[in-house]
Structure formats: C-alpha cells, structure tokens
Amino acid sequence: MKIIKRDGSSEDFDFSKIERLNEYATKDLNVDLSLLRSQIKFLVYDGMSTQEIFQAQIKAASGLISQENPDFTFVAARYLLADTFKQVTGHSTYNHLSTCIAYGIETGRYTDKLSTLFDLDLLDAMIDYDNDFLFDYYGLQNVVDRYLMRDPSGKLFELPQHFFMRVAMGLCLNEKDPTSMAAQFYKLLSSFDYMASTPTLFNSGTNHSQLSSCYLNTVNDQISADGVDHRYASIFGTIEESARLSKYAGGIGTDWTRVRGAGSAIASTNGKSSGVIPYLKIYNDTAVGVNQGGRRKGSFAPYLEVWHPDFWDFCEIKKEFGDDRLRAHDIFPAAWVADLFMERVEQNGLWSEFQPHLYPELHELHGAAFKDRYEQLEREGKAYKQRPATDVWKRILTNLFETGHPWITFKDECNRRNPQDHVGVIHSSNLCTEITLNTSDTETAVCNLGSVNLSKHIHNGKINEAKLQHTVKLAVRMLDNVIDLNYYPSDRAKTSNLKHRPVGLGLMGETEAKVACGIAFDSDEGVVFSDYAMELISYYAITASMELVTQHGRKPYDSFEGSKWSKGILPIHTAVIRQTSLGKETWNALADAIIYNGIRNSNLMAIAPTATISTITGTTPCIEPIFEIERSEKNMSGQFKVVDPCVKYRRPDLLKTVWEIDPIWILKSAAVRQKWIDQSQSVNIFVKQGTKGRDLATIYMTAWKFGLKTTYYLRGQTKTKETPKPVVVQPTPSVLEEEVKFCSLDNPDCESCQ
C-alpha cells in the first residue's frame, strides 16, 4: 500500500506511524484500543493521502463515542489536534509564540501592539500545552472551524493555546504590566475555568476589536430625528443604528413601545398611523440584509409593552400563516409585562390599551407609579380599547406555545431592582433576555459578557471557594478592560458604556457541578446549591469591582453617585427573599465599603445562554438541566455525536433530562439565583408533550410570583430523540380555550397542577 504525503510525494504505508498516533491519542483514557484499531483498518485503503488518514482516524474514534464509551470524544479530539498541527506548523509541536504573532501582524490579522507591548519569550514559556487535552471532539472542532485565526488566503496559522494567548494579550493592551496580566488571563481561559464571549474570542488582539456581545436601544415616535434630536432617536434612525450594530455581530433588543399604534392620528399630515407592525417588517428585513459580516443573519428582538394598542397583533408576527403583511419571521418578539397586567389576569379584570404618543409617561413609569397613572387614565375614560385581561394572556400563551414568541419578560421587577434607577428606566431586555440596562434617545446600552465554568471549581464534592474567588476577580478585570478596548459601532452605545461601565459575568456548567457534587437538579438540595453558588459569585464580583477602584487606581463609574450602590443597596437588599449563607453582616459590611470607596461597574452579573462557549469548554450550558444524554449536533464540518459531560461521573441516578424534570425546579433555582444578580438570566422553560394551556399559564404566573425578571425560549418535547427546535409543541385548537386557572403555590393538589 502507498500513501500520498502533503507535498504530493508517495511512500509505503507504515502502520507503525498510525500506531504511534493511536497511543498518543488514547494515553490515560478509558477506551478499547483494539476496537479503535479495528475500526481504523476498515477505513484505510491504498493511495490515501496523509490528511485522509487523519480523517479516517477521526471518523473511527468519533463513531465510537457513546454513553458507555464517552472518552472516545477525547481520542477524536487528539487526532483532530494532530491534523491541525500538520496544517499550521507542518510538524507535531507548537512554533514559538513570536512566530505566530509576527505572521498575524504581517497578514493584517493582529494589531502590532501584540509585538511591542509584551515579552513574547516570557509568555511563550507560560503556555501550558497539556491544556490542549482538555478539549473534547465537538469543542475542538468548533474552535478550529470558527475561532482559530486564518490568513487572507484561508490558511490556518493559530493553534489553540496561541489562540487563548492572543485573546488574553488583546485584553491587556491598557494594563500597566500587560505581560504579567496576559499570563494570568491566559491561564484562566486555557484551563476552561472561565471563558470570554464569542465576540471577544473572535476579535481580541485584532485590528478590529469589537468585543461586546449585545445591545439595547429604543425607538422614538418620529420618522427621522429633527433639529437637535440625536440622529438615531427616530424610527429609521434606530433601524440604521441596529444595522450598524448588527454588522459587527451584536445581538440587539429594541424597545418599540413609543411608536404610536395603528389608526392613531398624525397631526402633520392629517392622516392615520400604520402602527408598529409595518416598521417591524423593515426591521426584520434589516436583520436579514445586514448579515453580520456574511456569517449569519442579524439577531433582532423587538419589545412591546402589553398596554400598546398594537400588542394584540404583535403577538402573532411569528406565525407561519395569516396575512403576511402582519408577519415578521426572522426577528424575536418579546412582551414587556407590567405587574398590573398579571394582577388583572388573576382577578379576571379588564385590560386597557392606550396610545403611547398621547400618554408617553406610561412608557417611563413602573411599579406603583405606573399603576396609579394607568388607573387614573382608565377612570378618565382615556383608554383606546379594552378587553378581558385573560383574553390577552391567552393570546400571549397561545402564540408562545405555537411559535415560541413573544417571550415573557417583567417590566416592574427589572426596574424595581435596577441599580441605575436614578439615571433612567429599563425599557426592554436584549436578544437573550439576560441584560437589563437603561436606554434613552441618547444612550444605547451595551453589555460585555463572559462566564465562569462552575464545574471546574468543584473539589471533593464541594465548591472550591478560594479558586472561585480568584477566577471571578480576574474575570471582572477582563470584562472591565473590554469597555475601554472595545470598538463601538454607534456613538450612543459608546457614550452609554463608558459612562456606566456595565458588564455581565455569568456562569455555565452549573448542572455538571451539581452532578459532580452528587446533587440532583430537581431537589431542594439542588436549589440550595444554585443559591449558594450564585451568592459566592455575586459577593466576589461586587468585591472585585470595588477593588478595581481601591487597589488598582481606577475611578468609580461616572454615574455612581445616586445609584443604589452609592446608598449601600446591593442586589440581595432588593430581593423578595433575602436569606444568605454568608450572613447579613458580611453583606452589610460590603455595602458600607462600597458607599465609602465606590465601585467600577454599574452592573456586574448576567447569565447568558453560553451555547457555544460551553461547547468549547465541554460542560453543560449556563444554568440548563441536561437536554439529552446523547444527541446529534451539526456544524460546518458535519454531524457530531455528543455525549453529555455529566456521564463521566457515573451517576445514572442524577442524569435526568429536562423532559424528566418538573419546570417548577427550573423556576425555583432561577428564583434563588435572581436574588444575587443585578441584571437577569436566560431562563428557558421546557414542557413535555401534552402540556395544557392552563399548565403553561401556571408556569409563567409562577415565574412572575417568584420574582424572575425575564424568561427566554419555551422548548417543547418532540416525539423523536432529535434535538427540538425552540418551538415544536403544537396544541390542539381547544387547548387554550379552556378556562385558565391559577393555583396557590402551596397547594399542589389543585386542578391546575394536574
């Protein structure tokens, strides 16, 4: 047999070379080497290229991945790594870091600051090449396909550890000792203890440092900005801004509530408004057209308050049938729901709609002030239209059940606990519903994200508090650096971010961490674990932000005075339930220290979905239960079998999937986490086949009563084992026509809980 080498020459096939690679790929792993050899031999043939041999080995190992043999994922990853080495260096070892940096600068991919600000010899010596073995197959394939840098011809020139070092260096360009901090940041990233968000991984250290993850903006009720108004403070101005933000890969949440409803009068033309929906179609097509650098469609989420006259039609814009002039299929609508609406639903009361241009104060008010003004307008007969609140609620739930939208988010809880309520109002969340920041005609909110991998902070069945503290402290510093290094596609985004300096530190691997500790997700112990873990992260994050001021000479954020922070009001102090493991004295002492010293960031915590970065690190996504023990995933390189990382703990009794867990446990865990978070969390709701409308109503009513700020996708169970799309449950026409009944949370035997 002959093989064809990469230079085109041929040589006799030498199975001993394959055997050496087999031994390298299986070292210290629990796999059947003889089975692997037999599978590889089936795939080898005369005239193969060396690259095809690598692919045959990868295919053989990946085909053996299963719940019974989970370690084969690491075997396949090592084969892929060996192939990547050959592509990048031509041999089986790393080149010196300086070689990679020089080539990246030469080809225009890296900023030249990477060569002038850092001691590359010292950083090269700090690289831990064994961290390559942390990757599983699917995680490494994603890194190779999407994250490792390529030159203009498409040739790879980064390897994984150089990738992490480049990201770390790019986040240290403004540090006093950039080499020392880069070494620390690198260790955090490459060990998978913490992972930055995808935009940061893509662009850190490059000539275009767009590092932010998401944006929130608001639409003013005018076609274009006039006179002294900001150019984006209009319908088409905000659409233009959204296009610019989307061009550089940001997900966008937009508040549309101020736009007057259909049929309302337009004084300047003596005509009638067409309302929000036609503009949402333009907004939708902008998302499709400005497709994030040609990589994917833009991701836009319009938010509308429930009292808006167009909300009734807004609920149905994702439907696949009906008048297409009232549909927008490529955006992600969300309901911005006041407490008063939920109370009216409980009371079977009437719900009134008001024209926002006539009563703009409703958009700016929340809580008791909103209720007082709303009910005053009702008494004065100013409502544009009225209908039973339960009809609106059923409309929301019906469309949520059928299309997955509108997402349900809670206006008053977001604003009641807003640490920045002295300088503005939260009018919406973002695309993934975890960001809750103020927006206005002059400020577009920006958030920079990253996530602690909680599963890497477990030792002997408990959280390693010292390690977690170290990780959070460095993570907050990295996120704070992003604010100053970031490229801002819009001036009002830059103004907002530099003034308030919000960041969103989240977590992933929570379910894996629970399994590692022997804790079931659907248990009181699991809820206590979520509570304690988030309390630690909250305490360490707030302390770290304060220490950036006290220990590192950075000043408090500009709008600190007058904030809840400046008054010693921390997230736990505004929570409905305030039990603490660290003790009230500990939290009160931290509050006093912040009053005295200040804090660097207006907001610090938000739990994002982490779908991609949890794949890189090989852990469970964010706060999600196990989705499936074995599943099929697809990316640009093909189809992949993925085994849940919790399998390795050999605790089948703890491997319950989302379809075996009552949603109440997701809500309970989310509720105790929310105590500690100054923003929000992406909370998916999972429902089994056969879920009734009344059950769904109870779930979301419970989420509101538990004090959740937002919810995210409703995911339904399919009949097959294929991965469900976000929306797959199809109710019968009568499901939501049944009477909606709400149960007392302490009465599990009532009809609505059956």
Residue 142 near residue 616, CB atoms below 8 Å: yes
Q: Which of these is catalytic: 241, 316, 434, 512?
A: 434
DSSP letters spanning 266-297: ETTTTEE---HHHHHHHHHHHHHHS-GGGTS-
Contact 451, 195 (CB under 8 A): yes
Q: What is the three-class DSSP state of 158? A: coil
Residue 245 near residue 490, CB atoms below 8 Å: yes
CB 687 within 8 A of CB 397: no
Annotated catalytic, 430?
yes
The answer to whether residues 363 and 305 touch, using CB atoms and an 8 Å cutoff, is yes
- 361's CB contacts (< 8 A; 6+ apart) are 373
Question: Which residue among the candidates 399, 430, 438, 453 is catalytic per the annotation?
Answer: 430
Q: How far apart are CA 62 and CA 75, in angstroms?
A: 8
Sequence-ordered list of residues with C-beta below 8 angstroms from that of 218, at least 6 positions apart, any chain: 238, 254, 255, 258, 427, 428, 439, 440, 441
**Separation between Cα atoms, residue 740 and residue 565, nearest integer Å:** 41
Residue 403 per-residue DSSP state: H
In 540-677, the DSSP E strands lie at 630-635, 638-643
How far is Cα 192 from Cα 164, in angstroms, rounded to an integer? 10
Task: Considering the candidates 100, 432, 447, 743, report the single residue annotated as catalytic.
Answer: 432
Amino acid at 547: E
Report which DSSP code applies to 523. Answer: S
- Give every CB contact of residue 471 below 8 A, 6+ residues apart in sequence: 188, 193, 194, 452, 457
- CA 202 from chain centre, in angstroms, equals 16
The Cα 449–Cα 610 span in angstroms is 10
How far is residue 140's CA from residue 135's CA, in Å, rounded to a whole number?
Answer: 6
Q: Active-site residue 434, yes or no?
A: yes
Contacts of 407 (CB under 8 A, 6+ apart): 301, 332, 333, 334, 335, 400, 433, 710, 711, 712, 713
Token pair 């905000």 is at which residue? Answer: 238
| Active site annotation includes 95 | no
What is the C-alpha to C-alpha distance for residues 306 and 308, in angstroms, rounded to an integer? Answer: 6
- Residues designated as active site: 430, 432, 434
